[in-house]
Amino acid sequence: MVSHKCVEEFSLQFPANARAPRSARKKRSFKKEEITENDKTCAIDLLATVAENLLSETGSSHMSIDKPVEDHCLVKEEFPVEDKPLKPATLPEFNPYQGSSMSPCGFSSVISGKVEIEAEGFSHSGGIDSCQAGQDLKPSVDGGAVVLDARPNGVGSLGGSSSRTKVPSMGAGVSLGALDDVHMFSRDDDENFSGYICPRVTKKSPRSVPRVGDRRIRKILASRHWKGGSRHSEAKSWRNYYLHHQRSYPIKKRKYFDHISDSVSDDYRLRSKMQRGSRAVSTMKGPGASFVSSDSHVRLRIKSFRVPELFVEIPETATVGSLKRMVMEAVSTLLSDGHRVGLMVQGKKVRDDNKTLHQTGISQDNTHLDSLDFSLEPSSEAPHLLSSNPSGHVCEELSMCRTSDMDTLFKTEPDLALFPSGSFDKETAADDSKALVHAALTELSPPQPPRHKSNKQQQQQQQTAQRRMRRPFSVTEVEALVQAVEKLGTGRWRDVKHSAFEDADHRTYVDLKDKWKTLVHTAKISPQQRRGEPVPQELLNRVLNAHGYWSQQHMETLALPKPDYNPATFHTTWTNLLLMFRTSIGSSFRALALPPRSFNYLSSSSVRMENLTFFSEAGAKPRGALIVVEGLDRSGKSTQCAKLRSFLESSGHPTELWRFPDRETSVGQMISAYLSNKSQLDDRTIHLLFSANRWEKRSLMEEKLKGGTTLIVDRYSYSGVAFSSAKGLGIEWCKAPEVGLLAPDSVLYLDISPERAAERGGYGDERYERVDFQKKVSEFYQTLRDSSWKIIDAGDSMEEVEKKIQQVVLDKVKECALGKSLSLLWSS
DNA sequence: ATTAGGG
DNA sequence: CCCTAAT
């Protein structure tokens, strides 16, 4: 019955011939006919016969009785016999290879049948077989189905059958967890392994196989193989497949063939441990290699593992050896390529691959190990087995195709112990996984990555197989990270790592980047939603500030390339910026209404940024810096202010240049008249006017700064106090009216001697421009200095001064953007 | 080897 | 933390 069903399925799914290699087609075309009609039976019989011949000892063969049978039935129903398999007509459609390399004939030469592979924990010595086939699997005929017995290497069989798992030579495309696992096991027996493996087997390339006897084996692989380009459809087919079969058609997949006898279990245990440490010891080979036993391990013993049906087409002329190889290949391919294993604990799917076994509830003393199930699921991303081969040559090699309706079933015998390897907890179920592998766990062994060198892919996989240990960041580390990012910015993780985590080997820059990512997220969510060690809110605020700041920086950097404002592209540009911003900030943003444009700012061409201010909801809105430039007349203030403004704007910082007195205001008008010697005002009055002039602008100034605009102010309270004081007013009296104005984040004092300034010419237009008076002013300036001051030698070249200023200001602007709060002048 | 993102 | 694509 099984066979029958199989055939049907086969037919449905594979118009087998499609893929037959040209050679096969040519030679065996005649067979086609034979098979076409009765083929179902014939094929099976043939296969059975072949298998029978091949394997004399079938003691191990077991019919898969459980679910499989039912499944088969179902399958049968779903796929009525009507569908004639092997119809030439259908071939074209199914032929993945576009027929270029396929010939119609090929089909006839192939025998189709269902192969059931059983992995058993027998103590058979498969030495001979293994040598020939390079593996211990022994195909045998059972009830019309070919059964492969996987012989476990008993302890005693170490010497002889270790090679069973050796499948490295398989199709070029093969490379996966399953194989790895296999290798892993055999690894321990390396000695045996190496000693027993038939050179021919190991070295034989897939190609050679097909050539021998011109046999073609088709491995039915995932539909993707023949579906060629559409991954989507492929996935779909799988889905459908599962939908239809899932319930009763468990696809059982077994990951490892290694069976372990009780006596062997010890070995496994050792292996597990060894493997655990193996990450670092990937080179270890000998069984006796140093095993690093570490923490508690869970030993799992999978009693039975059923693998989906395996369909193999093989010419009668094929040799037993080739059949074995094909089967092995098919099996390996299927296991490694087409499926992933899912894990279920107590009937519940465990999707989080990152969970540790312990977290999942799988522990040594856990009582429900028996409730642990593995599911075999289609791997939508599985690589094409044959992909590695030039498409045109696929046929020449063994090709195994798994159609969506077919599955290869592997069944392990009760005694067979399967060990979950790294993949064990690696891939968890895909949504549609239905097939469940029932595993009785009786022992525990930590999943470990096998290390073998036979296959590069394997190696890679092995290396990545094990998840690194989870190491939550401590507050200290977070602080270091935040600090580093504030300094270096995001996007320079390498530098961040080197500057702050040089010694932390376990923190890679990617980790730091990831941590930053999570920190930003954490900072945005409510404290109640946060988990783990609480990070001080202060740090989170810094994270937000830094993130907002750097996000804007990045954004602006990207926008800068097109400094020239072009009305035609304005909208587009901003749209992009907004999108970018939204993306980078990950939160909503909004444009603030443009504050009334003040008519006193000198430069008005800063189109790009001045009108809009963004900030994340989290409140991480970088504020602008208040930069005051002071200095005697002719010290170069205006020039440097203009340069500085240009610089900041080109650096992506919204900037405005202000100047006091602001002659545009009503108060400013008065001041202007006074300065022009057109009016005589009392010194105190004029002082207060100047002060009033600044107060007039205070609110707008604060608004601008909080909106993110950096203000460069040419002269401020210091000038007012210094000049008035120079005229004889008490300095404290002069400062009084200024108290409460916004304190500059930085005061750039362009230091130049009065004499030198006078040399620069231009003096004489206004009454204060007299050297002696400038000297007094200079002295008062000095008394006003505080920590926010930066003395710049204005005697240097303009470029020199410019450079110094830029450096100072940039740091200050960044500091402000990162959260430096505004303070008040001469308060408290 | 790094960076940037998505999972 | 992992995995990948893109640099």
Helix residue spans in A212-319 (DSSP H): 223-227, 231-245, 262-278
**A484-499 b/e with 16+ CB inside 10 Å = b?**
bbbebbbebbeebbee
Residue A458 CA, nucleotide B5 C1', distance (Å) = 27
Look-up: residue for tokens 């009216």?
A737
The residue behind tokens 């897939």 is: A206
Q: Is A40 left (phi over 0), alpha (psi -120 to 50) or beta?
A: alpha
Contact A284, A449 (CB under 8 A): no
- Using a 7 A cutoff on CB, list residues near strand B: A 354, 490-495, 509-510, 513-514, 517, 583-584
CA A373 to C1' C1, in angstroms, rounded, equals 25
pLDDT at A537: 81
Q: In this complex, which residue's CA is closest to the C1' atom of nucleotide B3?
A: A491
Q: What is the DSSP string of A59-110?
A: TT-----SHHHHHHHHHHHHS-TTS-TT-GGGHHHH-TTTTTSB-THHHHT-
In this complex, the nucleotide whose C1' atom is nearest to the CA atom of residue A497 is: B2
Model pLDDT, residue A531: 82
Q: How far is the CA of A467 from the C1' of C1 (A)?
A: 8
Residue at A764: amino acid letter = G
C2: residue with closest CA to C1': A467
| Best-predicted range by mean pLDDT (A100-104, A109-113, A573-577, A806-810) | A806-810
Distance CA A184, CA A787 (A): 67
Give percent of chain A with pLDDT exceeding 90: 19
Rounded to two decimals, the pTM is 0.37
Quickly give A518 CA vs C2 C1' distance in Å: 15
What CA–CA distance (Å, rounded) separates A166 from A175? 12
Which stretch of A46-55, A242-251, A750-759 has the lowest confidence by average pLDDT?
Answer: A242-251
The closest alpha carbon to A150, from A137, A134, A141, A160, belongs to: A137
Strand B: which bases are under 7 Å from protein Cβ? Answer: 1-7
CB burial string A704-727: b at 16+ within 10 A, e below: bbbbbbbbbbbbbbbbbbbbbbbb
- Higher local confidence (pLDDT), A353 or A190: A353
Query: Bridge partners of A172?
Result: none
- In chain A, positions 325-354 with C-beta closer than 7 Å to nucleic chain C are 354
Residues 444-503 of A with CB under 7 A from strand C: 464, 467-471
Q: Is the pLDDT confidence value at A809 over 80?
A: yes
Distance (Å) from CA A381 to C1' B5? 19
The pLDDT value given to residue A344: 62
Chain mean pLDDT for chain A: 55
Nucleotide nearest to A494 (CA to C1'): B2
Strand partners, A714: A629, A659
| Cis peptide bond upstream of A661, omega within 30 | yes
Task: Please indicate whether residue A654 or residue A124 has the higher confidence score (pLDDT).
Answer: A654
> Which tokens belong to A35?
């098979």
Q: How far is the CA of A283 from the C1' of B4 (A)?
A: 34
The SS3 call for residue A158 is helix
The answer on pLDDT for A66 being more than 90 is no
The predicted structure's pLDDT at residue A309: 52
Give backbone dihedrals phi and psi of A659, rounded to 5 degrees, phi first. -145, 140
Q: What is the mean pLDDT of residues A139-153?
A: 31
Å separating the CA of residue A754 from the C1' of nucleotide B3: 53
Contact A479, A535 (CB under 8 A): no
Quickly give A800 CA vs C3 C1' distance in Å.
Answer: 49
Report the run of H or E that residue A568 belongs to, with start and end: helix A567-585
* φ and ψ at residue A154, rounded to 5 degrees: -70, 175
pLDDT at res. A329: 59
- Which amino acid residue lies closest to nucleotide B2, measuring CA to C1'? A494
Distance CA A327, CA A333 (A): 9
Pairwise CA distance, residues A718 & A60, whole Å: 98
Q: How far is the CA of A255 from the C1' of C6 (A)?
A: 34
pLDDT tens by residue, A467-516:
888 888 988 888 888 888 888 888 889 989 999 999 888 899 999 999 99
In angstroms, the CA A779 to CA A451 distance is 78
Give the number of C-alpha atoms closer than 13 A to the C-alpha of residue A251, restricted to the C-beta side: 35
Quick one: pLDDT band at residue A298, thresholds 50, 70, 90? low
Task: Read off the tokens for A310.
Answer: 């395996």
Protein A423 CA to nucleic acid C3 C1', in Å?
15
DSSP A21: B
Widest Cα–Cα separation across chain A? 124
Best-predicted range by mean pLDDT (A42-51, A110-119, A363-372, A661-670): A661-670
- The reported pLDDT for the residue numbered A510 is 93
Strand C nucleotides where any atom sits below 7 Å of a protein CB: 1-4
pLDDT (tens digit per residue) in A411-455 = 222 222 333 333 333 333 333 333 333 333 323 333 333 333 333
Q: How far is the CA of A294 from the C1' of C1 (A)?
A: 22
Nucleotide nearest to A518 (CA to C1'): C1
DSSP assignment letter at A618: T
Is residue A505's beta carbon less than 7 angstroms from any atom in nucleic acid strand C? Answer: no
Measured CA A501 to C1' B1 distance, in angstroms: 18
Q: Are A184 and A283 in contact (CB under 8 A)?
A: no
Q: Tell me, in Å, how far CA of A583 is from C1' of B6?
A: 13
Better-scored residue on pLDDT, A80 or A510: A510
Any idea which nucleotide's C1' is nearest the CA of A554?
B4
Shortest CA distance to A596 belongs to which of A665, A663, A672, A642? A665
Four-CA torsion A166, A217, A461, A440, nearest 10 degrees:
-70
Q: Which of residues 138-197 of A touch strand C (CB under 7 A)?
A: none
* Residue ranges in A279-393 assigned as alpha helix (H): 320-333, 357-360
Q: What is the mean pLDDT of residues A130-136?
A: 32
Q: Which residue has the higher pLDDT, A632 or A390?
A: A632
Cβ of A532 near strand C (distance < 7 A): no
Residue A339 — very low, low, confident or very high, per pLDDT cuts 50/70/90? low
Distance (Å, whole) CA A466 – CA A430: 20
Nearest nt to the A514 alpha carbon by C1': C1
pLDDT at A31 over 90: no
Which nucleotide's C1' atom has the smallest distance to the CA of A586? B5
Q: CA dihedral in degrees (A382, A388, A389, A394; nearest 10)?
A: -10
Distance (Å, whole) CA A129 – CA A160: 10
Q: Using the C1' atom of nucleotide B4, identify the protein residue whose alpha carbon is closest.
A: A491
Q: Which residue has the tokens 């050297």?
A: A771
DSSP code per residue over A669-736: HHHHHHHTTSS---HHHHHHHHHHHHHHHHHHHHHHHHTT-EEEEES-HHHHHHHHHHTT--HHHHHG
Closest nucleotide relative to residue A509's CA, C1' based? B2
Q: What is the pLDDT of residue A723?
A: 93
Separation of CA A287 from chain center: 36
CA of A468 to C1' of C3 (A): 14
Nearest to residue A378, comparing CAs of A427, A418, A327? A427
Contact A496, A481 (CB under 8 A): yes
Q: How far is the CA of A46 from the C1' of C1 (A)?
A: 51
- Please state, in angstroms and rounded to a whole number, the distance separating the CA atoms of residues A370 and A376: 18
CA distances in angstroms from A32 to A21, A24, A41, A43, A79, listed in the order given = 14, 11, 14, 11, 22
Residue located via tokens 């450079």: A803
Question: Could you give the angle at the alpha carbon of A269 between the alpha carbons of A265 and A275, nearest 5°?
Answer: 135
Q: Is the dihedral of CA A541, A546, A547, A551 positive or negative?
A: positive
